[in-house]
Structure 1
């Protein structure tokens, strides 16, 4: 089976936001087996044994208890977002997103017939005054956010911003959909706990996934929320018809959670991605100097680079491809067609020598 994206021998594509195939833990799945119960229709929120193991690991990683009955398994984070659209959205509804935001999430919302309205960010995440004004003006069905190691900017909401955001959500009863797939992919300091763990009176859905911290081909993720929110998802027609999601893949991952192999893999990824982030950051710094503004990421997959002269980077993309390198133009991440002088660059998919070469190629076109 061919992967979703294949590497070119000529093009170093920093627009691709995927894990390095060389880092996927194939050996850990060589001797896997499943029992008969995992081949049957499973319970609607997902296998109880796996949810218990997942809750135990999340409790340790988050530093606060996570209960299995507040978790529902999904086929990755994209499936979780699609389920959110079914439960919270409708054609013609308005959803709020950060500006900039994850471009495929915005595509998904549009495909469901929803109107996407962008709300500005600052250096600590979503601008709360602007968000409150947008909630009052649009009465949205939900607000979508990436709180930790934001895609695309790399920003992480600090604790006070999260407290204030969830308080706003509780006061207005505007649901928050928190895409927290990078929550555990920190390099040094853990980010504050997921938004679903702040206030049970606030309608918050936190989405997690093993795609970036183990292997995307597993298509295994989870929704975290109050028991009422989990019950709402668990009683959906999709799950009443087909049973819980990912019964086989959760059976493959469960022993890795219990025997510590997953934690070892994740620690290795944190170290490697931290080194790659440093490599890309310093290579860009050396190549462009004071022409650019960027922040060194402390987790996740991306560096957000902006040219201080305001140039439109999309004008250089074809020339960059001819030079053997690609990037994601910032305006693709903006519902308002903003951030034309910015680009998103992924440091996860390539080795350090390849990242250095990619910077050299970028500099040959843009410096």
Structure 2
């Protein structure tokens, strides 16, 4: 089965030699795998604190909580510091797993449309007339699933709007390091001097989701409270994984690995865009992403996405249907160039185009 929407790196991009060096060093230096302190391995938080300065985020190790992936950070936030029934504004569409986390604890979700610069924040004001308690969850950099990068101007405007309207922000930066052309604007958190933004990061997208390590940056009071809840939940993220990540980030080959990975992803993206240009020009519209993993493919004519999904399964293709990420039915697909074998890209985009054409013949409606 070819997974045409999976949000992981292709397994052969795994840096075997670098990781072997890391494991050898750990076997010689780590003398204990006991429980770590509530906020996570201090040495790892110190390294992250330094690396975050490159993004314009000024924080101490005491402002960082190590989590078992960034999804756990959302879970901790949802169950311990957000009121049940709170309204959460988010981009429409948005990351499905995040939406499910919020919904599972009784939050009210409200999708706000996007344009090519990011979330249209001014539409929040129209929705907010009868809403007192609300926060914003946003993926401003290489948005999942659309790939949109919020412009620097939009970030400044959004930040000011949230300050003026007292709307706290959860900023998810899972893809921020995976820029394929130009470095994106600094995170929203880089403007935050008052602790109104909780910033989330992860190693899952740039290296290994199996490590299950993410991090949360916030005020010390929030970080300590979430750290206490995490200790009651699982007694801390894996000490093995934290030591591994600490050594990875210290390894002299890590930056080169990241550079090579981005080159490989750019080649894959270009190959998929070329295939779309060849087979989908009459069928769909899309933008070329500047980073991340995804191409948001919007079909020009309305078809049964369920029929497309089932037809693709019969052809050995697993699709990520766009409606899974949205608040309403849509006519889109999240395509990923990160996981599929490079040699399979062109043939499977061609197969997909044939399936769409066959379903389009029976469609009378064009999507505006």
Question: Normalising by the residue count of structure 2, what TM-score does the alignment of the two structures yield?
Answer: 0.89
In structure 2, the partner of 1:78 is: 71
| In 1: Cα distance, 2:333 partner to 2:234 partner | 41
| In 2: Cα distance, 1:140 partner to 1:266 partner | 40
Task: Say whether the 8 Å CA contact 2:66–2:213 is kept in structure 1.
Answer: yes
| In 2: Cα distance, 1:66 partner to 1:321 partner | 47
In structure 1, the partner of 2:342 is: 352
| In 1: Cα distance, 2:233 partner to 2:174 partner | 27
> Structure 1 residues 265, 172: closer, same or farther in 2, change over 3 A?
same
1:91 matched to 2:84? yes
**Aligned-pair distance for 1:101?**
0.7
In structure 2, the partner of 1:123 is: 116
In structure 2, the partner of 1:319 is: 311
**Aligned-pair distance for 1:176?**
1.0
| In 1: Cα distance, 2:263 partner to 2:168 partner | 35
| In 1: Cα distance, 2:195 partner to 2:154 partner | 15
In structure 2, the partner of 1:230 is: 223
Moved more, 120-129 or 255-264: 255-264
**Aligned residue among 275, 298, 305 for 1:306:** 298
**Aligned-pair distance for 1:167?**
1.6
Structure 2 runs not aligned, ≥5 long: 358-368
Task: Say whether the 8 Å CA contact 1:99–1:334 is kept in structure 2.
Answer: yes
**Aligned-pair distance for 1:35?**
2.6
Task: Say whether the 8 Å CA contact 1:304–1:344 is kept in structure 2.
Answer: yes
Task: Say whether the 8 Å CA contact 1:15–1:345 is kept in structure 2.
Answer: yes
In structure 2, the partner of 1:49 is: 43
Task: Say whether the 8 Å CA contact 1:71–1:223 is kept in structure 2.
Answer: yes
**Aligned-pair distance for 1:330?**
1.2
**Aligned-pair distance for 1:360?**
1.4
Task: Say whether the 8 Å CA contact 1:98–1:121 is kept in structure 2.
Answer: yes
1:144 matched to 2:134? no
| In 2: Cα distance, 1:121 partner to 1:88 partner | 27
**Aligned residue among 143, 146, 149 for 1:153:** 146
Task: Say whether the 8 Å CA contact 1:169–1:202 is kept in structure 2.
Answer: no
Task: Say whether the 8 Å CA contact 2:248–2:254 is kept in structure 1.
Answer: yes
**Aligned-pair distance for 1:59?**
2.6
**Aligned residue among 330, 334, 337 for 2:326:** 334
Once the two structures are superposed, what CA deviation does each residue of 1:203-243 show, in whole Å capped at 9, x if it has no partner?
11111000011111111111122334323323x33336865
**Aligned-pair distance for 1:312?**
4.2
In structure 1, the partner of 2:257 is: 265
**Aligned-pair distance for 1:100?**
0.5
In structure 2, the partner of 1:280 is: 272
| In 1: Cα distance, 2:230 partner to 2:325 partner | 30
In structure 2, the partner of 1:255 is: 247
In structure 2, the partner of 1:14 is: 4
**Aligned-pair distance for 1:314?**
3.3
Q: Over aligned residue pairs, what C-alpha RMSD do you find?
A: 2.1
1:40 matched to 2:34? yes
In structure 1, the partner of 2:363 is: none
**Aligned residue among 192, 196, 201 for 2:194:** 201
Moved more, 158-167 or 244-253: 244-253
In structure 2, the partner of 1:8 is: none
State the secondary structure of the residue aligned to 1:303: strand
In structure 2, the partner of 1:5 is: none
Task: Say whether the 8 Å CA contact 1:148–1:157 is kept in structure 2.
Answer: yes
Query: How many residues are aligned here?
Result: 352
Once the two structures are superposed, what CA deviation does each residue of 1:259-290 show, in whole Å capped at 9, x if it has no partner?
32222221121111111111111101110113
1:191 matched to 2:184? yes
| In 1: Cα distance, 2:164 partner to 2:39 partner | 29
**Aligned residue among 12, 24, 37 for 2:14:** 24
In structure 2, the partner of 1:100 is: 93
Question: Normalising by the residue count of structure 1, what TM-score does the alignment of the two structures yield?
Answer: 0.89
**Aligned residue among 294, 300, 307 for 2:286:** 294
| In 1: Cα distance, 2:70 partner to 2:259 partner | 21
**Aligned residue among 340, 355, 360 for 1:365:** 355
Task: Say whether the 8 Å CA contact 1:92–1:113 is kept in structure 2.
Answer: yes
| In 2: Cα distance, 1:69 partner to 1:263 partner | 25
1:343 matched to 2:333? yes
**Aligned residue among 126, 132, 151 for 2:125:** 132
